Amino acid sequence: MSPPKVTKDLQEFFYGAAESPTVKPVAVGGVWYPSLYSVESDSNKKVILHFHGGAYVLGGARQSECGFGADILVKTHSAMVFCPQYRLACYDNGQFPAALQDALISYKYLLDQGIPASRIVVSGDSAGGNLALALLRYLSDQNDSHQLPLPSAVLLWGPWLDLSVDPESIDRNKNSATDYITSSLARWGVESFVPLSMSSSHPYISPARNVFSTNCPIFIQVGGGEILHDEIVTFADKMKESRGNRIELHDTPFAPHDILLCGELLGWEKEAEQAAQASRVFLESQGI
């Protein structure tokens, strides 16, 4: 399924952080789970806009790559899930803000289907969690003339929050023996994604260094055995301190990075399902 082409009317939504002299918006594809959205039969269902992980250089929206997590979200939330095939940074025209442009197009696509923002939940695992936060920040930073509504909530699964960290520190991390993330993958992702003209600590690239206030409730899952554990917990604590924020942290004991993506491969299916159930309870507590 392809979101709309970038028309003149749609172009007006790309400004500020989403604007670039070299990286231009394009139409991107996506996959609906469990089936194509139907206005007639699905108009009362929650819709989850989910961004896959992969350090901005790997992964995709198709069943073979994203299906395990998407299926869990469908089942747990009784929802429709739309996974965009956003541009990867290892290809031409894929550096920042390409993924943010694709996320914005995908969100606008859902709104154009007649799906109200009150029924849309934005979700992302690992780098997809980074992208979900970038989209939320962008929607929060909009000026009044181009206002798009905020989604009802955001779900983050082992989000990659600080791209300014030296990749070599991964090998020295206390959880390096219980996780699968490598310094070479992190370096590839950062060097591919971050333009030379930008700092890797930019608010839209490293949200861990740039917390913000939002009216949108946020659920964050982290694995107790993952390399990003302390970084994610610190971010959650700082976000909780920001006035008005509603943050829920779900810490999965001993789990490696991103069990929503890799739980099936690594034997953490049960824990991934439990984390998804915790996210459902959180949304219900927020009236969503």
In degrees rounded to 5, what are phi and psi of residue 46?
-70, 145
Name the band, by pLDDT with cuts 50, 70 and 90, for residue 7.
low
What is the C-alpha separation between 189 and 185, in angstroms, rounded? 6
Domain-located, residue 13: yes
Domain-located, residue 182: yes
Name the band, by pLDDT with cuts 50, 70 and 90, for residue 9.
low
Condensed to tens digits (0 to 9), the pLDDT of residues 168-189 reads: 999 999 999 999 999 999 999 9
Determine the average pLDDT of the residues in 79-88: 98
Name the band, by pLDDT with cuts 50, 70 and 90, for residue 41.
confident
What is the C-alpha separation between 139 and 124, in angstroms, rounded? 16
Q: Enumerate the active-site residues.
A: 126
Specify the CATH number for the domain of residue 124.
3.40.50.1820
pLDDT above 90 for 75: yes
Name the band, by pLDDT with cuts 50, 70 and 90, for residue 64.
very high
- Residue 55 — left, alpha, or beta (φ > 0 → left; ψ -120 to 50 → alpha)? left
**Nearest alpha carbon to residue 219 among 236, 243, 244, 237:** 236
Q: Are 225 and 178 in contact (CB under 8 A)?
A: yes
Q: How many domains does the chain divide into? A: 1
Q: Which two tokens stand for residue 163?
A: 């791209």
Percentage of the chain beyond pLDDT 70 is 95
Name the band, by pLDDT with cuts 50, 70 and 90, for residue 262.
very high
* Range of weakest confidence among 13-17, 168-172, 208-212: 13-17
Q: Are 120 and 151 in contact (CB under 8 A)?
A: yes
Determine the average pLDDT of the residues in 16-29: 91
Condensed to tens digits (0 to 9), the pLDDT of residues 158-171 reads: 999 999 999 999 99
Name the band, by pLDDT with cuts 50, 70 and 90, for residue 42.
confident
Domain-located, residue 268: yes
Domain-located, residue 47: yes
pLDDT above 90 for 40: no
Domain-located, residue 1: no
In whole numbers, what is the pLDDT of the chain averaged over residues?
94
What is the C-alpha separation between 121 and 99, in angstroms, rounded? 18
Percentage of the chain beyond pLDDT 90 is 87
Which residues does 57 contact at the CB level (< 8 Å), separation at least 6? 88, 89, 90, 185, 188, 189, 192, 193
Domain-located, residue 2: no
At residue 144, the pLDDT reads: 60
Domain-located, residue 199: yes
pLDDT above 80 for 6: no
Q: Does the predicted model carry a pTM greater than 0.85?
A: yes
Domain-located, residue 3: no
Rg over CA atoms, the chain: 17
pLDDT top residue among 143 and 248: 248
Neighbours of 14 (CB within 10 A): 20
Domain carrying residue 114:
8-285
Beta bridge partners of 30: 84
